[in-house]
């Protein structure tokens, strides 16, 4: 073969290979065809043998063209392979999409957050005793959170409930994140005359942070005002409540305490549910665990709410939901409630 014949042959083979490869529908056929051109005993190899027979100066020229031929065949092979793979992917997708009988991806079963579950349990116990549920805002006025509850502006009792004040809101500088649910007592008494029997669940805020104190936590307030309500009613209500919650033999005790809005005031402890009152690490070997603050409503609160106090008495208490949940579920660190760790949450 002379130079011209060889060139014509190269061009014809490039054309033929491109046409053939682009029509093959199966990957196996494609690989075979490629090998027929570029394999060790392939058609391109045969042409290379012809190359050796040309004079040296022509050899270089045709050598270049031979390389271009190889590239062209390789390129046609790659393009067709890509096309076939794309088509196979689309077919698989179309098949999957059309298969409406495939079972759906189920959501894992879940319960409510343990705190909310406990809160709902507590609310149900009080509702069964005849209490209505009242609510109030978390952004509260100083007037309701402190002033009407008999905390004068400079009273040191305010220090126990250090909180977060917010930027002046609609021109008002007396707005804070409420430190307890007790302002709902005031809001309720401003609206309704006795008899009043309400509980008020909700979120409250304080400048606190350790294993048993969180800057944001939940309380349930309770208020019962009527003619002839005494501390015996307070103790009876609380005893019934803890026995429904922790079991019928659970005892409570009232310890003298101070709140500006109750007189007398008492902290309420339950008999340690871990050791039954014998003393253990959880109750600091005292046999008792504090869960709430309580007392008889102070006459100054009635005055602030415009109540005619003739013959009217009442009790109130505020319990910490986290504290109760930690006892009930045996949880040692309050932060576990807020970590959103599914290993913790999925146990409840
Ligand atoms: C009060 O908040 C009073 N308002 C309760 C009250 C209501 C007294 C009505 C009298 C009449 P105290 O600060 O003790 O009281 O909080 C009540 C309960 O909230 C505590 O017993 C505790 O269970 C819970 N608690 C207080 N601070 C935190 C905190 N930082 N994190 C989690 N729980 C808390």
Task: Please give the distance, rounded to the nearest whole angstrom, from the Cα atom of residue 203 to the centre of ligand 1.
Answer: 12
Average pLDDT of the segment spanning 144-172: 82
Q: Which residues line ligand 1 (CB under 6 A)?
A: 180, 182, 206, 208, 213-214, 217, 219, 259, 262, 290-295, 316-320, 322-323
Domain boundaries, the chain: 3-94, 114-345
pLDDT band at 111 (very low <50, low <70, confident <90, very high): confident
Beta bridge partners of 267: 255, 293
As a whole number of angstroms, the distance between CA 292 and CA 16 comes to: 92
Cα of 74 vs centre of ligand 1, distance in Å, is 79
268, 242 in Cβ contact below 8 A? no
Query: Closest ligand 1 atom to the C-alpha of 215?
Result: 30
State pTM to two decimals: 0.71
Q: How confident is the model at residue 237 (pLDDT cuts 50, 70, 90)?
A: very high
- Per-residue pLDDT, averaged over 299-326, amounts to 94
**Rounded to the nearest whole angstrom, what is the distance from the C-alpha of residue 112 to the centroid of ligand 1?**
24
pLDDT at 166 over 80: no
Q: What percent of the chain has pLDDT over 90?
A: 61
Please name the fold of domain 114-345. BirA Bifunctional Protein; domain 2 (3.30.930)
pLDDT of residue 98: 66
Q: What is the pLDDT of residues 318-335, one digit of tens each?
A: 999 999 999 999 898 999
Burial code of 28-43, b = ≥16 C-beta within 10 A, e = fewer? eebeebbeebbeeebb
In this prediction, residues 283-311 reach a mean pLDDT of 93
Residue from 316, 318, 325, 314 nearest 348 by CA: 325
Instruction: Name the residue with the closest Cα to ligand 1, atom 19.
Output: 320
Residues in the chain: 348
Note the pLDDT of residue 99: 64
Please give the pLDDT value at position 100: 66
What does the mean pLDDT of the chain come to? 90
- Stretch 46-69: mean pLDDT: 84
Classify 294 as helix, strand or coil. Answer: strand
Q: What is the pLDDT of residue 177?
A: 93
**Average pLDDT rounded to a whole number, residues 250-259:** 95
């Amino acid at each position: 073969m002379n130079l011209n014949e060889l060139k014509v042959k190269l061009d014809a083979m490039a054309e033929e290979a491109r046409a053939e490869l682009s029509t093959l529908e199966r990957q196996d056929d494609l690989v075979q065809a490629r090998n027929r051109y570029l394999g060790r005993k392939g058609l391109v190899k045969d042409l290379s043998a012809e190359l050796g027979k040309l004079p040296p100066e022509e050899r270089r020229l045709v050598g270049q063209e031979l390389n271009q031929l190889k590239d062209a065949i390789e390129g046609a092979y790659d393009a067709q392979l890509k096309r076939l793979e794309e088509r196979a992917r689309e077919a698989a997708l179309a098949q999957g999409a059309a298969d409406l009988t495939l079972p759906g991806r189920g959501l894992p079963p879940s319960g409510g957050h343990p705190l909310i579950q406990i809160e709902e349990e507590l609310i149900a116990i009080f509702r069964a005793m005849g209490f209505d549920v009242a609510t109030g805002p978390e952004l509260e006025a100083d007037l309701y959170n402190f002033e009407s509850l008999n905390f004068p502006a400079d009273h040191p009792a305010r220090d126990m409930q250090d909180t977060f004040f917010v930027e002046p809101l609609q021109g008002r500088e007396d707005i804070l994140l409420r430190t307890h649910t007790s302002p709902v007592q005031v809001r309720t008494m401003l609206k309704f005359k006795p008899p009043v029997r309400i509980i008020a669940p909700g979120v409250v805020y304080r400048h606190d942070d350790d294993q048993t104190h969180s800057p944001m936590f939940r309380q349930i307030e309770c208020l019962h005002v009527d003619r002839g309500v005494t501390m015996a009613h307070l103790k009876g209500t609380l005893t019934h409540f803890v026995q429904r919650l922790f079991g019928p033999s659970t005892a409570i005790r009232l310890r003298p305490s101070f709140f500006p809005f109750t007189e007398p005031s008492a902290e309420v402890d339950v008999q340690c549910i871990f050791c039954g009152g014998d003393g253990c690490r959880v109750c600091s070997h005292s046999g008792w665990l504090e869960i709430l603050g309580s007392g008889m409503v102070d006459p100054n609160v009635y005055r602030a709410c415009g109540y005619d106090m003739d013959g009217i008495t009442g009790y109130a208490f505020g319990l910490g939901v986290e504290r109760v949940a930690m006892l009930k579920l045996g949880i040692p660190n309050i932060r576990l409630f807020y970590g959103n760790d599914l290993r913790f949450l999925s146990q409840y």
